[in-house]
Amino acid sequence: MQRRAPEAPRGGQQQPYAFKKQKFNFKAFAKLVGSIKPHFWELAIGLILGLAATGMQLMVPQFAKQLINQLGHHMNTGLMGLVIAFFVLSALISAVSGSVLGFFGEDVVRKLRKFLWAKILRLPVSYFDETRSGEISSRLINDTSQVKDLLANSMPTMVTSILQLVGALVLMLLMDWKMTLIMFIAVPLVLVVMMPVIRQSHKISIARQDALADFNGQSSEILSDIRLVKSSTAEDLEHEDGNGKIEKLYKIGIKEAIYDSIASPLMQMVMMGMMVGLLIYGASRVASGTMTFGTLISFLMYLTQMIGPFTQMSQFFTDMAKTSGSTARIQEMLQMPEEDQTSGESVALDGKTLAVDHVDFEYEKGQPILQDVSFEAKPNTVVAFAGPSGGGKSTIFGLLERYYNPDKGEIKIGDTTVTGVNLTNWRSQIGLVSQDAAIMAGTIRYNLTYGLDGEYTDDQLWNVLEMAYAKDFVSDMPDGLDTQVGERGVKVSGGQRQRLAIARAFLRDPKILMLDEATASLDSESEMMVQKALEKLMHNRTTLVIAHRLSTIVDADQIYFIEKGQVSGHGTHKELINKLPLYREYVENQMMLQQAPQTA
Ligand SMILES: Nc1ncnc2c1ncn2[C@@H]1O[C@H](COP(=O)(O)OP(=O)(O)OP(=O)(O)O)[C@@H](O)[C@H]1O
Ligand SMILES: [Mg+2]
């Protein structure tokens, strides 16, 4: 978590608040939807049934007209029964249509999420360096819902709304064209009055959603780093920061309340005015005998039927604007190049020399991190990397894990360039115990076998725990192997976490082992245990170790001294002491550091 000015939007890539009038990119949307192959037949059925239900609703005022016009003569029970059956049937069809469209929507969102989730997991590490995780999960959760809403709710409603409007228009024209004309002059007038209010309230609703997403993202980010907040005594800062966001939501909410409360009475007033006008005109027509009472009533019924479609159509345009943004964000993610995890040959790494050959690398353009780095690790030897902090040691490991690709030069195993080796195959043979031994929320058992296919007996797990000097503390835990370690392993200590990571490495039995030694000073007992565990783990495999402990450095077969992204010298400890003054200085410093606690 980085500190930044409270006003600056976190992440900085997109400015979510501003309501931008986005043009709906139909091509991009169609391509996205087409690529997930949803059950279009469900959409078709839902739409057809929806249209049928709408058509039936259009008939209702016609029946009403007939019923009303017959009043006073005799009760037509047959027609009455028919109308009731019609009502029930139309409700049933409407319900089925709604369900089928709902199924369709869920199918869309499911496929879209699966598609995106698979994509996200295959994006390279560099993508995650650049993009906030909150933003990524928002694409997976919110943007996919948005696409579903447009496709399964707004679009079908739009189609039925059009039928409703056109159908009503035609039927009304057939009944009485003069009355219809008056109504269709009045309706656009109503729209002219209503439009600014509707538009403004849509703007506000979009702004509210963006502000909510922003507040949500920020608060969860802070909650996940609550220890840092507390240790930095940043509560007040975050308090203010959060208050700012809450205030913003409040202001948007106030505006929304005003517009909403203007909108509905205004709408009611205008509708009432229209109705009264129509009634007066209609009543005079009825009085003069040029129109039946039933026709007048059915006109009023059509008028009320038309309000829904009008508001739904404006909702549709808002949804299109929102979905356009969502589609663009999803598309952008889908266009990111993935790691190629499937192609390439499988190569057994044991017994082969690992060589890094004149490698250059930069995380960001124009900021070279590694320059002309070369080294070699013969099978079953220990190669240590030492050097000042920020020199690029962990970066080298990142390249070896193939999180990133070198910009220049190559990495070879035996005679093969690693870019030709299947990525999954490569990573499954490499064990990395990193600087901040990563542990997931879950049980110890879950963490040990994480990512492994096979079934492991308890005995096997206890065995690796024993080799990693972790058996004692795990058996002391209340639930043994099934103890929960908490989010990111907060319930186990740093040294325990490392030993669990080592136990996991034992279980994976990698051909090449990479250890990024933690600088965090463990107490001498757990340091000794970690050290012993590591020595055992190094046995019989090629080991690359970023070494801070002097003992590891001294015992290594080859030491590479990495400084400012370059190899400034290599050799055994003795050789380097003699030929590289910087190394000698480094070792002396390390010695002083490591002796200090004992002499103090
Ligand atoms: N993901 C990243 N994106 C951009 N720059 C990075 C990234 N990771 C590391 N760097 C930069 O690369 C340089 C080398 O970092 P690296 O982590 O390799 O150092 P290191 O030798 O492992 O240091 P230490 O001994 O402190 O762990 C640093 O200047 C760092 O700022
Ligand atoms: Mg490092």
The domain total for the chain is 2
DSSP bridge partners of 426: none
pLDDT in tens for each of the 600 residues of the chain? 343 333 333 433 333 333 344 567 788 888 888 888 999 999 999 999 999 999 998 988 888 888 888 877 777 788 888 888 888 999 999 999 999 999 999 999 999 999 999 999 999 999 998 888 878 888 898 889 988 988 898 889 999 999 998 898 898 888 888 888 887 777 777 778 777 887 787 788 778 878 887 888 788 888 888 888 888 888 999 999 999 999 999 999 998 888 878 877 887 888 788 888 888 988 999 999 898 888 888 888 888 888 788 778 777 877 787 788 888 888 888 888 889 888 889 989 888 999 999 999 999 888 899 999 999 999 989 999 988 888 999 999 999 999 999 999 999 998 899 999 999 999 999 988 877 777 888 888 998 888 888 888 999 899 888 888 888 888 888 888 898 888 777 788 877 888 888 888 888 888 999 988 765 545 666 677 777 777 777 788 899 989 877 777 888 889 999 999 999 889 988 888 888 888 888 888 877 776 655 443
Cα of 389 vs centre of ligand 1, distance in Å, is 8
Instruction: For residue 28, tell me if it sits in a domain.
Output: yes
Range of the domain at 182: 177-290
In-domain check, residue 137: yes
Ligand 1 centre distance from Cα of residue 394 (Å): 6
Residue 251: predicted pLDDT: 93
524 domain-assigned: no
Residues 85 and 223 in one domain: no
Rounded Cα–Cα distance for residues 56 and 88 (Å) = 11
In a domain, 425, yes or no: no
C-alpha of residue 590 to centroid of ligand 2, in Å: 16
Which residue's CA is the closest to the ligand 1 atom numbered 26?
Answer: 389
- Ramachandran assignment for 554, one of left (phi > 0), alpha (psi -120 to 50 degrees), beta (any other): alpha
Cα(223)–Cα(216) distance, integer angstroms: 11
**Is the residue at 507 inside a domain?**
no
Q: Which atom of ligand 1 is nearest to the CA of 367?
A: 5
Q: What is the three-class DSSP state of 340?
A: coil
Q: Tell me the C-alpha distance between 295 and 172, whole Å.
A: 9
In short, whether 390's Cβ falls inside 6 Å of ligand 1 is yes
Same domain, 165 and 74: yes
Give the integer Cα–Cα distance in Å for 10 and 6: 9
How many Å lie between the centroid of ligand 1 and the Cα of residue 396? 10
What is the DSSP secondary structure assignment for residue 154, as one 8-state letter? I
pLDDT of residue 22: 53
Model pLDDT, residue 523: 63
Q: Indicate which residue's Cα is closest to atom 29 of ligand 1.
A: 390
Q: Which of 276, 305, 339 is the last residue of a domain?
A: 339
Q: How far is CA 130 from the centre of its chain?
A: 14
- pLDDT recorded at residue 594: 65
* 59 and 151 inside one domain: yes
> 544 φ, ψ to 5°?
-110, 130
> Distance between CA 471 and CA 459 in Å, rounded?
11
Are residues 277 and 148 both part of a single domain? no
CA distance 302 to 57: 10
**Centroid of ligand 1 to alpha carbon of 26 (angstroms):** 43
pTM, two decimal places: 0.78
Q: Which of 301, 263, 269, 264 is nearest to 282 (CA)?
A: 301
CB of residue 392 inside a 6 A radius of ligand 1: yes
* Size (the chain), residues: 600
Cα 532 from Cα 526, distance rounded (Å): 10
Is residue 389 within 6 Å of ligand 1 at its C-beta?
A: yes
Shared domain for 153 and 28, answered yes or no, is yes
Q: Is the domain of 150 the same as that of 34?
A: yes
Q: Are residues 29 and 143 in the same domain?
A: yes
Type of residue numbered 381: T
> Could you tell me if 133 and 209 lie in one domain?
no
Q: Measure the CA–CA gap between 41 and 46, rounded to whole angstroms.
A: 8
Mutate to test the pocket of ligand 1, among 369, 371, 399, 403 (most ligand atoms within 8 A of CB): 369
Q: Do 157 and 150 meet the contact criterion of CB atoms below 8 Å apart?
A: no
Residues 261 and 141 occupy one common structural domain: no
Atom in ligand 1 nearest the alpha carbon of residue 548: 25
Q: Are residues 31 and 166 in the same domain?
A: yes
Please tell me the residue having the least CA distance from ligand 1 atom 9: 395
Q: Which residues lie across from 544 on neighbouring strands?
A: 383, 514
CATH code for the domain of 50? 1.20.1560.10
Answer yes or no: do 151 and 241 share one domain. Answer: no
Q: Mind giving me the DSSP string for 362-427?
A: ESSTT-EEEEEEEEEE-TT-EEEEE-STTSSHHHHHHHHTTSS--SEEEEEETTEEGGGB-HHHHH
Q: Are residues 163 and 186 in the same domain?
A: no
Measured in angstroms, how far is the CA atom of residue 121 from the centroid of ligand 2?
Answer: 24
